[in-house]
Each structure stands twice: as structure tokens, then as C-alpha cells.
């Protein structure tokens, strides 16, 4: 199998598997229990939190574990508008956010919040100037992802933070950094964000674990009510095996960060070069600013057909976010590209395990599919 859909999910690395099994088999105590086995679990949890926080670039006490990126996004958005409810009811986001951001914001719009959606250019970039112009005295939340999950473009989050400060508006700044985490260098402080979301299964940890950064000193309401876990902010017994696996995956990535970045970027560039040379009718919809994601199109060849035929050849790519489940992507549509291009879009995304040869195999398969279709006409 050739797997080139790493923006959807990644293969769990051996170190993460080993860490999870060790906690499940031996260190299975409840961190809230006061006997020795529970205390040992709490100490392991503290160490794992510190490891993930170091990878994020924040203090351990600023990091709260969640079940996934979607939970983190929902929590951040709802807590932010609750925090600013006496200051305004205006929200700014982009038209190319993940559904985990767009859907809770749509729900807030139905409750009377006014939403401004910033639209991208044809390459998927958002204008910092348009963001600055959209800010108002009653803006209470700006939510802008750091790396788009379908185009691979980097959005101007740092510039958004500067614009918010310059405007004097009370907005909190949230960024969905699920696709940026460990792929694009950042720290929450450098970005100037108040809230930041990550997800483990995008960085070779298991599904079911993520985290939300909440800037120190920002006192938000918890999304759930219950026990005192996560400093009372995210109650529920901590999933210590998943957390251990996330910490291990982060540590491996940090240990090999330069090599991983070079390998991922090399594999993507080679694919784009070979694609453009072998398929002159193809279109590079987005080369991607981030090292691991790009989008290409074969106008006249429906993407869902291409995905199926590639799958039959043992090659895994997608027609967009895995969360769309076959529906047309709002992200690609927002770029305003011609309909023919949009119908044939494929997202190709790479991991540290990806090789240039896998990209070549994908292009060869696409050439075969196109040739077969031409011959059948």
C-alpha cells in the first residue's frame, strides 16, 4: 500500500505504540487515586504533559488534554464567546476553516452572533489587510487556522494578532493548529494567540487524543462539569495511555525534526515536479506553503472516480478533508477556481515515512487512468 493521505491521519509510530501498551499493561492506575499506583500514574501524566507542552512551546499548565481537535476547537470557540459576551457579538473567521470551527460558529450565528467570513484568493491565502478591516469594537473572537488542511496554505495568524492589538478590540484569537503542529515552526507566544488546538493522530500518535492551549492568565469556563481533572477545566479521568503515546510521538518528532522536514518537503516537491511533467493537462491547485500538503487537479476526471481507481491500485489519496465524506469541499470552492478544476481535485499529503518513489507511483497510476479513459472514449 502507498499511503499519501497523511493530512487525514498518520500511521502510529512504534514508540507511541510502546508507550501506550506500557501504560495500559503496567501503569494503568487512575491519576486521581492517592495510593502508590495512582501516584505513579499522576507522575507519569505530569511528565507526559511536560513533553507535549515542550513540543507545542508552552508551559505545562497552559496545556489541557482533549479527545481530539474537534473538541478543542469547539471548546475554544464557545469559551471565547462566553468570555466576551458583555463586550460584543461579532466573530471573524475564514471561509476555509475546518468544519470543527465552522459548525460551532454557524450554531452561534443562529443564536444572534454576527459572523464575518474572510475569503481566500485563488491559491488559498487570506489577506491580513482584510482581517484588519473586518475588526470592530464588538469583535469578541477571531478564529483562523494556521495551516489549511486541504490546500496546505499558511494563514496570517501572527498578523491577525498584531491587528487585534492595534485595533484595541476585545477579541480573543484562536488558531486551529492541527495541521501545523510539528510541521511548521511556531510557539503560541510568537503567534500571539490566546487559544490553540492540536490533535495527536496527525503526528503519528493514536486517534482519540488532542490538546488545547489556553494562554496563562486567561480565565475561561470549562466545556464540561465534573471532577477536578485537568485543573477543573476538562473533567473526566485522563486517557493516560493515549497521552503517553502522544508524548512519545512528539518526542520522536522533535528528536528528528530537521530530517523529517527535509524528507517530507523533498517527497512533495518531487511529486509536484513529476506530476507537472507527466500530466501537462493537470493543474497544481496549491503547492502548499506547509511541507506536507499539496492539491492537484485533473480537469475532466472526477476526483471521486480517481480516488476509487487509485485505491484499486493500492494508492491512498483523498479528494479533500476526510470529514467531508464525499461531499464537495467548501475549501476548494472558496478559491473560486473553474468548476472543471474543482471537480478533479486530489489532496496529496506526506509523512516522515513518505518517499519520492511513492509520489512517482501515484503519477504513473494517474497517467494510466487517464490513458485508459481516453482509449475507452
Identify the active-site residue in 13, 250, 323, 370: 323
Q: Which residue from 285, 302, 303, 279 is spatially nearest to 359, judged by alpha carbons?
A: 279
**C-alpha cell, 156:** 496570517
* Residue written as grid cell 488558531: 175
The reply to whether 13 belongs to the active site is no
For 265-304, give one letter per residue: b (16+ CB within 10 A) or e.
bbbbebbbebbeeeeeebbebbbbbbbbbbbbbbbebebe
Q: Which residues are part of the catalytic machinery?
A: 323
Amino acid at each position: 500500500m502507498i499511503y499519501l493521505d497523511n493530512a487525514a491521519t498518520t500511521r502510529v509510530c512504534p514508540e507511541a505504540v510502546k508507550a501506550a501498551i506500557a501504560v495500559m499493561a503496567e501503569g494503568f492506575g487512575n491519576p486521581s487515586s492517592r495510593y502508590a499506583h495512582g501516584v505513579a500514574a499522576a507522575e507519569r501524566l505530569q511528565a507526559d504533559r511536560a513533553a507535549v507542552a515542550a513540543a507545542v512551546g508552552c508551559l505545562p499548565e497552559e496545556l489541557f488534554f482533549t479527545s481530539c481537535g474537534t473538541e478543542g476547537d469547539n471548546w475554544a470557540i464557545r469559551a471565547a464567546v462566553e468570555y466576551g459576551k458583555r463586550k460584543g457579538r461579532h466573530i471573524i473567521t475564514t471561509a476555509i476553516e475546518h468544519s470543527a470551527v465552522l459548525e460551532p460558529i454557524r450554531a452561534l450565528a443562529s443564536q444572534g452572533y454576527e459572523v464575518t467570513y474572510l475569503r481566500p484568493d485563488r491559491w488559498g491565502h487570506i489577506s491580513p489587510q482584510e482581517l484588519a478591516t473586518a475588526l470592530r469594537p464588538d469583535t469578541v473572537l477571531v478564529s483562523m487556522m494556521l495551516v489549511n488542511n486541504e490546500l496546505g496554505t499558511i494563514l496570517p495568524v501572527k498578523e491577525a494578532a498584531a491587528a487585534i492589538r492595534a485595533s484595541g478590540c476585545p477579541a480573543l484569537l484562536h488558531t486551529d493548529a492541527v495541521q501545523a503542529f510539528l510541521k511548521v515552526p511556531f510557539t503560541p507566544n510568537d503567534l500571539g494567540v490566546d487559544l490553540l488546538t492540536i490533535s495527536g493522530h496527525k503526528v503519528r500518535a493514536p486517534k482519540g487524543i488532542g490538546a488545547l492551549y489556553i494562554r496563562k492568565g486567561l480565565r475561561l469556563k470549562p466545556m464540561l462539569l465534573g471532577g477536578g481533572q485537568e485543573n477543573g477545566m476538562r473533567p473526566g479521568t485522563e486517557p493516560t495511555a493515549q497521552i503517553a503515546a502522544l508524548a512519545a510521538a512528539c518526542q520522536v518528532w522533535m528528536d528528528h525534526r530537521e530530517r523529517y522536514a527535509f524528507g517530507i518537503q523533498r517527497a512533495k516537491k518531487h511529486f509536484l515536479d513529476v506530476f507537472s511533467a507527466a500530466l501537462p493537462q493537470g493543474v497544481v491547485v496549491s503547492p502548499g506553503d506547509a511541507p506536507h500538503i499539496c492539491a492537484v487537479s485533473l480537469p475532466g476526471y472526477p476526483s471521486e472516480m480517481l480516488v476509487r481507481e487509485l485505491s484499486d491500485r493500492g494508492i491512498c489519496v483523498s479528494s479533500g478533508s476526510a470529514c467531508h465524506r464525499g461531499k464537495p469541499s467548501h475549501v476548494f470552492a472558496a478559491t473560486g477556481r473553474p468548476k472543471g478544476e474543482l471537480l478533479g481535485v486530489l489532496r496529496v499529503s506526506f509523512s516522515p515515512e513518505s518517499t519520492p518513489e511513492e509520489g512517482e507511483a501515484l503519477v504513473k497510476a494517474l497517467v494510466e487512468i487517464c490513458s485508459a479513459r481516453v482509449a475507452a472514449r
